[in-house]
Amino acid sequence: MKKIELEIVALSHSITQSNSYAVVLGEVNGLRRLPIVIGGFEAQAIAVALEKMKPSRPLTHDLMKNFMLAFNVDLHEVVISDLQEGIFYSKLLCSNEADTVEIDSRTSDALALAVRFGCPIFIYENIFEIAGVDQPDKMIPEEKKAVTLSNGNEDLKKLDLEELDKLLNEVLNNEDYIRAIAIRDEINSRKK
């Protein structure tokens, strides 16, 4: 079966489901996109890795990576291998010195690990034809690798830089990394 390589091009609040997020995967060297609805914790895990943030303590996916590395297990690739009743199924292709195995995974967890390991993400062509979107302009902004997680971004514009710095420290202490990204982006846009 032919595999298509994907990359994460956006992460945002889900338009279709409240309290959910959508990770948008884009075809490498192509225009098709694949939106996948994920939960808030999974979105945070992906966002933290994409933004190269360093939490004070390891998140679950960081722990998983550390565990794999401690036992010389490498993650070579993630494959979105099936779609059943609107749910994507994925496999992790892992190996050590002695063996190579495929491990079943939730797609959101597989993506969080792929970002941490820097490994490629693939989807089978037949699944991409069913679930992919051919008009990405209507779905996501133009910027590549856009992490657009706004939990009250509108309120941030009303705060001055000192208030934003204080708020950033508070949300980092509470490990609310999604909100921290939005605050950091607001601070950076004002400093330009």
Query: Residue 111: its pLDDT value, please?
Result: 97
Query: What's the CATH number where 139 sits?
Result: 3.10.690.10
Does one domain contain both 27 and 78? yes
Report residue 104 as tokens: 């079943």
Query: Residue 182: its pLDDT value, please?
Result: 75
Residue 155's domain comprises 151-192
Does one domain contain both 122 and 191? no
Report residue 48 as tokens: 């933290």
Does one domain contain both 120 and 173? no
The backbone torsions φ and ψ at residue 139, rounded to the nearest 5 degrees and listed phi first, read: -110, -40
Does one domain contain both 88 and 160? no
Looking at the structure of the chain, the number of domains it has is 2
Reported as a single tens digit per residue, the pLDDT across 80-130 is 999 998 899 999 999 999 999 999 999 999 999 999 999 999 999 999 998
CA quadruple 23, 70, 175, 173: dihedral, nearest 10: -150
The rounded distance, in Å, linking the Cα atoms of 148 and 126 is 29
The rounded distance, in Å, linking the Cα atoms of 131 and 134 is 10
Query: Residue 157: its pLDDT value, please?
Result: 81
Q: Distance between alpha carbon 103 and the CA centroid of its chain, in Å? A: 19
Report residue 82 as tokens: 């099936």
Return the exposure string of 142-170: e unless at least 16 CB atoms fall within 10 Å of the residue's CB, then b: eeeebbbbbbeeeebeeeeeeebeebbee
Does one domain contain both 66 and 127? yes
SS3 content of the chain, % helix, strand, coil (to 5): 40, 30, 30
Does one domain contain both 63 and 92? yes
Does one domain contain both 89 and 10? yes
Burial of 70 (0-12, 13-18, 19+ CB in 10 A): exposed
The mean pLDDT values, 10 residues at a time, for the chain of 192 residues are: 93 69 90 89 90 87 95 97 94 96 96 97 94 64 41 68 81 69 77 74
